[in-house]
Amino acid sequence: MNKKERVQYIVNKLEHYYPETPVPLDHKDPYTLLIAVLLSAQCTDERVNKITPKLFALADNPHDMSLVTIDEILQIVRPCGLGPAKSKAIYNLSHILLNEHNGEVPDNFTDLEKLPGVGHKTASVVMSQAFGVPAFPVDTHIHRLLTRWRITNGKNVTQTEKDAKRLFPKELWNKLHLQIIFYGREYCKARSHIEANCPICSTVNSKS
């Protein structure tokens, strides 16, 4: 299989296994998605989804979040890890949204990435899942799979994102990155991965 054939096989197989791609993080609007994605750094989506109902009961919009204290936020989000940094970021970005963006989450990368606690990957998730803008968020899990599938030999997520965007059709990016996440959790895990039992790895890396 050459790279073009591998890409097409991967697209077809992911569409076969995951024709529907619900957003893993529970949210109701761009703001709650932004907060959920921020909390998901070095934390599982499952744990985030257990934490956010309590947080959003306290405050689910920038105005209400700006009225609580950082410590109140911290008491709720601590189980997600990096609690002090995340609670401070949530508090501060809420004030920035109020003061600079009329309480709305900006729909562009430049302004999103200026917000506290919001890096390129978080901004990419918000742009793709909240606003439908083509983006290809790459975290360590997607980086691992695309390396295994020989789509990239990038040494970091930045290079992997460039390779993914170059090789996969733009109209598939938003769905594809979710499909890869779902596939990785079920078939292509970081540990105890057996290539022969992985439908994609066993084919795209076959020597025959």
What does pTM read for this prediction? 0.94
Domain map of the chain by residue range?
A: 3-21+136-204, 30-131
pLDDT band of 104, cuts 50, 70, 90: very high
Q: Choose, from 60, 86, 139, 163, the residue flagged as catalytic.
A: 139
Looking at domain 3-21+136-204, which of 1.10.1670.10, 3.30.70.260, 3.30.70.360, 1.10.3470.10 is its CATH number?
1.10.1670.10
| Residue-wise burial string across 104-114, b where 16 or more C-beta atoms lie within 10 A, e elsewhere | ebbeebebbee
Domain 30-131 fold: Endonuclease III; domain 1 (1.10.340)
43-84 confidence digits (pLDDT tens): 999 999 999 999 999 999 999 999 999 999 999 999 999 999
Is 121 in the active site? yes
Q: Is 86 known to be catalytic?
A: no
User: pLDDT (tens digit, 9 = 90+) per residue, 149-193?
Assistant: 999 998 899 999 999 999 999 999 999 999 999 999 999 998 888
Catalytic residue among 29, 121, 155, 163: 121
Q: Where are the beta strands (DSSP E) in 46-85?
A: none
Task: Give the pLDDT band of residue 206 (cuts 50, 70, 90).
Answer: confident
Q: What crossing angle do the helices spanning 45-58 and 30-39 adopt, rounded to 10°?
A: 130
